[in-house]
Each structure stands twice: as structure tokens, then as C-alpha cells.
Chains A and B, each alone.
Chain A
């Protein structure tokens, strides 16, 4: 894992440095104009948020049913990333909406369900931080519920009447926008892999420190 760090750091830096140039050169959307370019950060962040929530939910289920301590560490790392990328989604979305819809926020199905999902993972982190002994199991159960929320958030725009665009936008992107969009998605995915590995390493180090404390007290 350690050997892949320099490669991941280099890839993330190159991709993130190149992304603004490509986004700048991407064609303008006819009705929204310049503000539509928030799309290249907003949607990949949402994709990473969903992926991170799925990783957290699966790892939490492994911890709950198999008592796998490593899975719990990965779940904790992924929950933090869900909150970080969720925050990006919840801030960049209203910045786009203010121009496109004329309002910062609308309590429609997609926006509200995304906020609820973000709050579940924020609660996961709070439970782990302040829940005391046994909080890991309670947090893991919350993460499974958080993961179950992902499909609902995704299809909410197709099922309920909402002001948010549907899931048909990405498959029907104009050719000039498609390449830039998937480049931005790749950049965010590489960054997610790097941050997840770093954060999981931090959790592993913390576990080692706890073991060392126990050894010092025993001696």
C-alpha cells in the first residue's frame, strides 16, 4: 500500500491541476452559461460521496457480522470521506442553484434526501467520537442504514417531482462535455482512493498505539 502513495499523490495532483484547464475549454451550456461549469465538480463529488457511503456500509456490515477490526477501520475512514465529499456537494449545489433556479435551496426530494444522508454519516462520526465504549457497533449499524439510503437518493429525481435534473443528464451529455466530465470523475476517484488509504492508515496507527499502551500498562 505504501508503495502506491507516491503514484496516487502524483496522479491526484496532475489530474486536479489539469481539470480547471479542461473545464475552462469545455463548451458552454446554452441556457445556464458559465455557471453550469460547477457541474464538473458537483456531480463527481456526489459520485464519490455515494461510493464512500457504500464502502462504509459494506465495511460496517463486515464488522457487525464477522467482528473484523480492519473492516471497522475502513468504515471509519470512509464515513469521514462521505461527510467531506457530501459537504462539497451540499455547498456547490446551492451555488449553482442560485443562478439556475433563482434560489439557494429547495426542500425537494433529492436535496432533502442528500442532506439526510449526510446527517446520518455526520451522526456516525459523532457517535464514534463521543459514544463511549461499544459505540463502534452502534455506529456500524447507523452506517448500514446510511448505505441503504444511497439508492433512494439516486433515484429520487426519477420517482418524485423535483426541481433537480434527472439521472438522464450524464448519459446524454454533449460530446464536448462528456470527456471533461469523465476526466473530472477520474480525478475525484483517484483523490478518494488516496484519502481513503491515508485515513485508513491513520486508524491502523491508532490501533497500534492502543496496543502499545496496553503493553506498557502490563509491564
Chain B
């Protein structure tokens, strides 16, 4: 960006060439400008005491910190293996030795068996709970009839 501004009056071809400056160089220019602004913020007077302009120094400082923070994860990234190496190590499933291949049949049967087992157990629990509630209902209805008969006899 800074480089582009400096050469704006030269032919377009040159501007294009300047735009392809490596990012590291642009970053260095930016950091130098920021440092310059920080130094400008410090005013040294005749009595050798200095005054610090906080307002003008805060923004450049934040920019530097953000740049440093963003550089850390980039530096910490592990080196990617080359695609050529990965291609060489790849072995299709059909080419694996027989003992390393996982058969699909038992997995399909396990899934199908599990579906049936869960549904049958669930139907059985509903049937059992329904039977229990209906027995309870019959017992309560009998007790209620007995109570009503007792009341009628007393009257």
C-alpha cells in the first residue's frame, strides 16, 4: 500500500510490479511507520523531561500487538506433508491384506438386529405397563363399587 502510493505517477506497468512486493516487506514498512509515529508521540523539551502523547500512541501500539498476535499461529502451524508423499503412502481398501479389511456384513446384521431388539423390547414394555394399569383400574373400580354398595346398605 505504501509502496503503491509512492510510485503512483509512474506508468501502470511499474505500479503492477510494485504491487507484487512480498508481504514481509510491506509488513516491515508498516512496522517502521508505526514506530516512527510512536517516537513522534514523545516530545523532548529543553529541560530534558519528556511528555508522552497517549492518544496518538495507543492506535499504533494496538496495530503492532494485533500483527504480532496474528503471526504466532502462523508460525506455530506444523509443516504440511507434500501431496506427492501422501499419494505414495495411500493404499486403496481393496489392496489391503485380508486381515486388515473390515467386513460390512456383521455391521449390517448388528444394525438390523439392534433395530428389531429395541422395537420389540419397547413394545413389550408398553404392553406390560398397559397390563399393570388396567389391572389397577379393575381393582379400583371393584373397590369403588364395594364402597357404594356399603353406603347404600347403610341407608
Chain A residues at the B interface, C-beta cutoff of 8 Å: 20, 32-35, 37-38, 41-42, 45, 84, 87-88, 91-92, 95-96, 98-99, 191, 195, 198-199, 201-202, 205-206, 208-209, 212-213, 215-216, 219
A-B residue pairs in contact (CB < 8 Å), sample of 29: A20-B112, A32-B104, A34-B104, A34-B105, A38-B107, A38-B108, A42-B111, A45-B115, A84-B118, A84-B119, A91-B111, A91-B114, A92-B111, A96-B111, A98-B107, A191-B119, A195-B126, A198-B130, A199-B126, A202-B126, A205-B130, A205-B133, A209-B133, A209-B137, A212-B137, A212-B140, A213-B140, A216-B147, A219-B147
- Verify B144–A92 contact, CB threshold 8 A: no
Chain A residues whose CB sits within 8 angstroms of the CB of B108 once the complex forms: 34-35, 37-38, 95
Chain B residues whose CB sits within 8 angstroms of the CB of A213 once the complex forms: 140
What's the minimum C-beta distance from B147 to chain A, rounded to whole angstroms? Answer: 4
- Verify A219–B144 contact, CB threshold 8 A: yes
- Verify B107–A96 contact, CB threshold 8 A: yes
Chain A residues whose CB sits within 8 angstroms of the CB of B151 once the complex forms: 219
- Verify A219–B118 contact, CB threshold 8 A: no
- Verify B140–A216 contact, CB threshold 8 A: yes
Name the interface residues of B48-67: CB closer than 8 Å to any CB of A. Answer: none
Bound Cα distance from A95 to B108, whole angstroms:
8
Chain A residues whose CB sits within 8 angstroms of the CB of B33 once the complex forms: none
Name the interface residues of B87-113: CB closer than 8 Å to any CB of A. Answer: 102, 104-105, 107-108, 110-112
Given contacts A33-B104, A34-B105, contact A88 B137 (CB under 8 A): no
What's the minimum C-beta distance from A44 to chain B, rounded to whole angstroms? Answer: 10
Residue from B133, B136, B141, B151 having most chain A Cβ neighbours under 10 A: B133
Chain A residues whose CB sits within 8 angstroms of the CB of B136 once the complex forms: 209
Chain B residues whose CB sits within 8 angstroms of the CB of A41 once the complex forms: 111-112, 115
Interface size, chain B (Cβ < 8 Å): 28
Chain A residues whose CB sits within 8 angstroms of the CB of B144 once the complex forms: 212, 215-216, 219
Bound Cα distance from A79 to B87, whole angstroms:
49
Given contacts A35-B108, A195-B123, contact A92 B115 (CB under 8 A): yes
Residue from A38, A45, A201 having most chain B Cβ neighbours under 10 A: A38
Bound Cα distance from A42 to B151, whole angstroms:
60
Bound Cα distance from A28 to B22, whole angstroms:
53
Q: Residue-by-residue, is B119-144 near A (CB-CB < 8 Å gives 1, otherwise 0)?
A: 10011001001100110110011011
Which residue of B is nearest A92, CB measured? B111
**Does B148 belong to the interface (CB within 8 Å)?**
yes
Residue from A95, A191, A201, A215 having most chain B Cβ neighbours under 10 A: A95
8 further contact pairs, Cβ within 8 A, besides A87-B118, A96-B111 = A38-B107, A38-B108, A199-B126, A202-B133, A205-B137, A209-B133, A213-B140, A216-B147
